[in-house]
Homo-oligomer: A and B are copies of this chain.
């Protein structure tokens, strides 16, 4: 028996974690991709809980960076960055519910070298930026194109190959009335750039508006903690999600579950605020659903909590805080 059968999705989902319909969202079906998470776009797809959707995602640059001699600053046109599939309207979803999204698979697509990373002026964790504004001269621009193979990995250079550990960089629901750049992570998900949001995990997202309006994109073939220079190994994919709906489960920030842990995800600035959000949510979750008294959960996480740094480069920084399921029996 798979752990999935005991997941929150399976136990509480309208579709009981079962597959009840199958859909595609090809480039053609998607048509125009989106650059904000908001309620003002027309859904590209309407599904019921239990839907499995295979989406053709673009890379974060919409495929425009094709060679190592390209100049990102000449090609990229803010705010038209980080194109998203969707929105997918989930029938029955209302404010106060949670969407459960099981990541069934992520497969690279497109011609080689299909992976891209680069240095973009005034963007990244070790450079002055538009917000951490400096007078220092920016670093030079630089593009690196790499071959990606789902089996053999990401070929960094002749000597180094990184395992293919794909995840969804940007996924979330629509805010109720805001439309926020897909570059930003927040309470509804968005550009979290957190490697745990990978194949085999279930992510739970707050529903803020009718139909939830699920967006996704920005898949990474590999990424270190913090996404240091701001650009992981970006690549186009076919990403397959199973979508379920949990009625009446009101969560303030994204949560995640895999075979081993439960996790809460916070995004904010400064970075300690991201950690505080994630850990407070986890403390309260353990208190509400796992029999811990609140201060006891706080003290126990002090001894056994784990932290994953998603990004330290986006408009908000992202941290996942988790606890092993083995402690929750």
Contact = CB atoms under 8 A, between A and B. Distances in A.
A109 interface: no
SS class, residues of chain A in contact with chain B: loop
Nearest to A115: B303
Interface in A245-295: 252, 266, 268-273, 275-277, 279-281, 283, 294-295
Contact of A303 (B36, B135, B156): B156
A110 interface: no
A219 to B, nearest CB: 14
Interface of A: 35-36, 38, 40, 79-80, 117, 119, 124-128, 130-140, 142, 144, 154, 156, 159-160, 162, 175-181, 222-233, 252, 266, 268-273, 275-277, 279-281, 283, 294-295, 298-307, 309, 312, 317, 321, 327, 329
A40 to B, nearest CB: 5
Contacts of A130: 252, 277
A222 B304 contact: yes
A308 to B, nearest CB: 8
B136 A280 contact: no
B232 A117 contact: no
A5 to B, nearest CB: 24
Contacts of A304: 162, 222, 224
A226 B134 contact: no
A326 B222 CA distance: 16
Contact of A144 (B140, B299, B327): B299
A119 B302 CA distance: 11
A160 B301 CA distance: 12
Given A233-B303, A279-B228, A268 B131 contact: yes
Contact of A126 (B117, B131, B134): B134
A177 B182 CA distance: 11
A135 B228 contact: no
A134 B309 contact: no
A270 B102 CA distance: 34
Given A140-B295, A271-B272, A125 B225 contact: no
B226 A307 contact: yes
23 contacts: A36-B179, A119-B298, A125-B272, A125-B275, A128-B136, A131-B277, A133-B273, A133-B280, A135-B283, A136-B137, A139-B295, A159-B329, A160-B327, A177-B179, A178-B181, A225-B305, A225-B321, A226-B275, A226-B307, A228-B279, A229-B302, A232-B302, A271-B275
A147 B147 CA distance: 52
A133 B137 contact: no
A61 to B, nearest CB: 15
A275 B132 contact: no
A119 B299 contact: yes
Top 10 closest pairs, chain A to chain B, by CB? A270-B270, A136-B136, A224-B305, A271-B271, A225-B307, A133-B280, A179-B179, A269-B269, A228-B302, A133-B276
